[in-house]
Chains A and B, each alone.
Chain A
Amino acid sequence: MPPRAKYLRTIWAELARLQSHLLWLGLFAEAIGFESLFMKIWRDRELVLELTEATNGHRIHMGTTVIGGVSKDMDERLRSRYLTDMDRLRKEVDDWSHVFYKDAAFREKTIGKGILPKADAVHLGAVGPTVRGSGVLQDMRTYGYEAYGELDFKPITHDGCDSYSRTLVRLDEVYQSIELIKRAVNQLPEGPLANKNDRFPNGVAIYRTEQPRGEVFYYAVGNGTIHLERLRIRTPTLPNIPPLLQMLVGHEVADIPTIVHSIDPCISCTERITYVKEAA
């Protein structure tokens, strides 16, 4: 893949992470009872969505990744807008992040709730911020796919094993994503956007990437025709459900919303099985 396409994919992946984490922080704040904090976070999320819209034409689903590269480019004006908007977003996040770090009511509702010990997190196969909140260093970005290998990326972990440390992982990742985007925009190399590819895939491919909610797993088998023989997508909510059942044991009913929220569940993502019946 051309290096410019790698960097652009990284920038957009981090933008997607920003919007997902800001959405989650807002929802989590609301689940705990901070209604106006929820509004404030979602207002700041709008900055990210507008930036996405200006580059990709869509606000959430970007639809810019094509086989062998990307389909949209970023000009000089957009690059400077990215840098100024990221600085602005950082200031806005500073404005409310102290609530998550220091507020007594918030800490009361999250510290010691939804405990997932390190050994259980590994044993039950948790992924993403859920497993990093239990102190396990597991992040697909450390393998350096796309441009992450060149951006001096270090994953964030917290050792609390509870809802609070899972929140902190996401909040720190917001700051980290802002830095990563700025670094990638500054280092953006020149070059073509996509390699031309006019053959149908033949062979087996396995690919793991880090989505906002955790590791996503793709398995594809091609047979040289226009149709794939097999495709399996495992989204991060599915492996996070067994740890959730473990977390819920021994808590009060009032704690359930925050514990369920703390894995960032996306139930619609889990239904990914399509069974195609072969003709006899």
Chain B
Amino acid sequence: MSIKDRVAIIGVGATKFGENFEMTYQDMALEAVYEAYADAGLETKDMDAAWLGTLSPGLTGLEGDAGASLAEPLNFYPRPVTRVSAYCCSGMEAVRNAAFGVASGEYKMVLAVGVEKMREVPPRGSLVARHIHETHPVISKGRTAPGIFAPIATRYFHQYGYNKETLAKVAVKNHYNGSLNPKAHFRSPITEDTVLKAPMVVDPLGLFDCCPTTDGAAAAILTTPEIAKDLKKDYILIKGMGLAVTYGYFSMAFQEDNDFLGFKSTREAAATAYRQAGIKDPRKEIHVAEVHDCFTITELVNYEDLGFCGRGEGGKIIGEGVTALNGDLPVNTSGGLKSCGHPVGATGVRMVADVVNQMRGRSGKRQVKKADFGLTHTLGGPGSIACVFVLGRP
């Protein structure tokens, strides 16, 4: 039996994304959850369990290393809270596991929350720096987060003849969308010229090809479709969800079948989610999507891996405006990781919240015309894990 139509999302919330120096980890968790409570007209006493996605408790006094970091600010005791972690898929893993909690019949009403506080450490303590000096002593030496994705851009250019200007179009689109999103980390529209003149981080990726590190939290409330209907709430159904783990962390770049033109994990996770949801032609059947644009090149290969276009056509459809806010298939209407920001554990839950709001017509200036089917996608580690959700109107 598949997950299709067995779980409803009846409330979502998120903090503003950015440098939230005025809020602790627990404050952010609380703000996101109470916004979701207000959306659903529910409170803690209505909840049976929760899942918490956080990648790195080491960035914030070990907050987020167990479910207690969510239970404490909510006074959620003594209910079960499970902390999950799966690189940048941590947030969507919280939603996925919460959905299984409901679908199993064990719980009627659950919370899925993602939280990450990344900005209160000096650069040497950042996730980026820790990635450099705390990983495998020799096999990983020379690697950085953007450094893992930049070789994909090099190969993509070589294979298909695209260039840095193609990548710049992704940054310009997502910054424009972010400028309309009151909760986005970066709210300034930019031009292709800004992107192309920015300093190189890992050539061919410049500063504006990279997403920021961000503070933020997001929450979603999940229940059965029957309860959602009884509560007379404007709810959204989970139509399909797939998680795929296709390589190890350090060995992925050594694998000969890795073509550095896309991600097998995304293709596998999407195949599962599409099969469950009955999606045959994603380009036509999906109306709005949030995808993992940690770097501009990632968004282009995601289009291809998710079946929004053929292999090698990602650079073509961004140029044609297909994925722009007013295009046929708007992608990252929030501004994406690039402009909305990327608090790792929060991102997947935030994507679900954004797509749910698009499908309920609550996205303000960013509202797309038609959104009966929506998609969210996160990609973790060097691309060795991916999670894809298909959401639908009842």
- Indicate whether A and B interact: no
